[in-house]
Chain A
Amino acid sequence: MIALLLASLALANDEITPLRTGSHTPFVIGSGHAAAGVLRPITLGVGEHTDLRAKNGILTLFSPHIQVKQQLTGGDGIGFAVRGGLGIPMGGLFLLNGAGFTSSDPTVKTGGAFTADAALLTGYRSDVFDIGLSVEGRFGVRGSSWTLQDPGMFLLDPALAPLTHGPQIRPRLIVEVFPKIGERPLLGLTADWMTQIGSGGPDSSLRMLASYAISRRVVLAAGEVIATETRPDGNKTFASPIADLQLRW
């Protein structure tokens, strides 16, 4: 990680603000730029108007999920984008089996499954804030041997929801504010609300995050996530602090 950090700093040669990556907004990071964190999804600007994202951060190890976002209109001001994604969770679940997160029961099978999602995104960008509003449809296809039930873990459930609960619609609203300190923003404040509507839901989450650029390429982030999950015995609310170290270039 340290080597990667130093390498990214050494390779830095442009003026991109380290805080804005267009997460869940219609705006893209820009060709040649990238962002990644321990928790934050990897985002690569693969075209002038196209981003490639490997979602779920560390959970990518367990539930690989990639998305492509194509910005249709907008620079600053109102923007529109479409996004599509594919998840292949069975490999990760196989790794998780017996590790404590999913059942080690030998009769539980997870092979042959994938999730797909498609979203419409709109939003508004100014020099000090981004607003993004998106609606995402999600569904899952599982093989005949699939017997995994709801793993009951809210951090894992959102990735597996269309497989364990059926098709879902996921509206999302994100507001990011970048107050200028000196010549450029060093601080980002994010409020990110999402809900899942569909079988097994509604489930909701609210992520509040403060990001601070300690250099042009390195961002520290800390905050809290609160999630409400519909459980068989009623709603359950979870809360957990989150912290991240992110690189931008």
Chain B
Amino acid sequence: MRALVLLFLFGGCTKLPTTWNEVEDFPILEDKDHGALPPVPDNLRVMTWNLKFGGGRIDFFFDGHGERVHMTEKEVEDNLQGILALIDEQDPDILMAQEVDVASARSAYVDMAQEILDRTDFNYAAWVPAWQVDFIPQDGLGPVKMGQTVFSKWPITRNTRADLPQSEESSAVVNYFWLHRCIQIVEIDLEGTPLGIVNNHPAAYALDGTKQKHLKRIFDETQRFDGLVISGGDFNVIPPGSLITEDFADSAPANVPGVSDVFYTEDEMASLEPFYEAYNAAVPIDDYQGLDAAGQAEYFSHSISGDVFWVVKLDYLFSPQTWFEAHTLQKPGDGNPPTASDPMSLSDHAPVVAVLELP
């Protein structure tokens, strides 16, 4: 009888969050209208950018700077146009994007993966979910469907999601509705030469060692590739040797976990050392560590507040190949070609773009 009651109470109830297998493949999108693919150049332009689900610089409640929850379709379209303009002017061959909404109430259900694919020179896109909940009751957030996306001019042949563990710091209720971070593993066919892409967005707020576990898994997944590989994304940790590790100017005025009183520990920063030791970084660590605070600031790529210029570097590109022409697009005029867009207005992350020498 008790089993019947339990079956009635829980067995017949739809689970609001979607969860995934440890390793799971996802579909690959192709722009049906693309013409002949461009020839693969000697060097690839690669960009990593956390798009903040097209939220631009709207102050959302979870940022601790505002009260907004839901954008109108026009707001999303306006922000998306800015993102598309920057992509268009920088013309990357590959974009590793994080926080890409495809059907969330907060971003008016706009499918950003499809929109970016349709409205840029990319011909292929691969999206994997990191947060898919049918209804989140906090502040009426509602349905959320967010993930990571790799865009490419050349065919994507693999799109795999590798699950990362949730932090155990939060309550079971919070974790029930919270995102399931992941590693996106993509393979691109460069006219017969396979290129591996490891697109990442590990834990941001956890202080229980989850971030370090995630970074270790990301490093291990990157190491699986014997040949050409790029590992990058929003790593949610600052480089070892950073001169400013706490008391950031963008700290939220309200006491919101994760966005007020942010600090980074030596242990967290040390988690990046294996990447720097095994791979070439678009921004080499020796260059970064040799700079004073003002010099390091030129590589900062994240600020929670639209009123505070970039305060930390969280976004990275690594590869066994050589990088050159690396730019953190912080303001108009940065990059080559100089960007006309103002990246501060487009997301809480600045895009990092660099050129990779192909073998």
Are A and B bound to each other? yes
**A→B interface (CB under 8 Å):** 96-108, 147, 149-153, 222, 224, 231-233, 236-241
Query: In the complex, what distance in Å separates the CA atom of A103 from the CA atom of B145?
Result: 17
By the criterion CB–CB under 8 Å, are B70 and A108 in contact? yes
Interface residues of B in 48-80 (CB under 8 A from A): 61, 67-70, 72
Write the chain B residue with the least CB distance to A236: B134
Write the chain B residue with the least CB distance to A96: B140
22 contacts between A and B (CB under 8 A): A100-B139, A103-B105, A103-B142, A104-B61, A104-B69, A105-B67, A105-B68, A105-B69, A105-B139, A108-B70, A151-B105, A151-B142, A152-B134, A152-B143, A231-B109, A232-B109, A233-B111, A236-B134, A238-B134, A239-B14, A240-B12, A241-B13
By the criterion CB–CB under 8 Å, are B102 and A233 in contact? yes
**Contact mask B124-158 → A, CB, 8 Å, 1/0?**
00000000001101111111010000000000000
Nearest CB of chain B from residue A15's CB, rounded to whole Å: 32
By the criterion CB–CB under 8 Å, are B140 and A151 in contact? yes
A102, A147, A153, A241: the one contacting B12 at CB < 8 Å is A241
Query: In the complex, what distance in Å separates the CA atom of A35 from the CA atom of B61?
Result: 43
**Size category, B interface:** 20 to 34
Nearest CB of chain A from residue B194's CB, rounded to whole Å: 31
Interface residues of B in 1-58 (CB under 8 A from A): 8-9, 12-14
Nearest CB of chain B from residue A165's CB, rounded to whole Å: 13
- Interface SS of A by simple majority: loop
**Given A100-B138, A103-B139, A149-B70: A233 and B109 interface contact (C-beta under 8 Å):** yes
By the criterion CB–CB under 8 Å, are B67 and A106 in contact? yes
By the criterion CB–CB under 8 Å, are B69 and A103 in contact? yes
Query: In the complex, what distance in Å separates the CA atom of A236 from the CA atom of B13?
Result: 14
By the criterion CB–CB under 8 Å, are A97 and B134 in contact? no
**Given A240-B14, A241-B9: A100 and B137 interface contact (C-beta under 8 Å):** yes
Write the chain A residue with the least CB distance to B72: A147
By the criterion CB–CB under 8 Å, are B105 and A149 in contact? yes
Which residues from A are CB-within-8-Å of B142?
A: 103, 151-153
By the criterion CB–CB under 8 Å, are B14 and A103 in contact? no
Most central of A105, A147, A149, A231 by chain B CB within 10 Å = A105
Which residues from A are CB-within-8-Å of B13?
A: 239-241
B105, B134, B141: the one contacting A150 at CB < 8 Å is B105
Which 8 pairs across A and B sit closest by C-beta, in order of nearness?
Answer: A100-B137, A233-B103, A232-B109, A105-B69, A103-B140, A152-B142, A104-B139, A152-B143
By the criterion CB–CB under 8 Å, are A101 and B140 in contact? yes
Interface residues of B in 208-267 (CB under 8 A from A): none
Which residues from B are CB-within-8-Å of A151?
A: 105, 140, 142
By the criterion CB–CB under 8 Å, are A232 and B139 in contact? no
By the criterion CB–CB under 8 Å, are B12 and A97 in contact? no
**Contact mask B92-117 → A, CB, 8 Å, 1/0?**
00000000001101001101000000
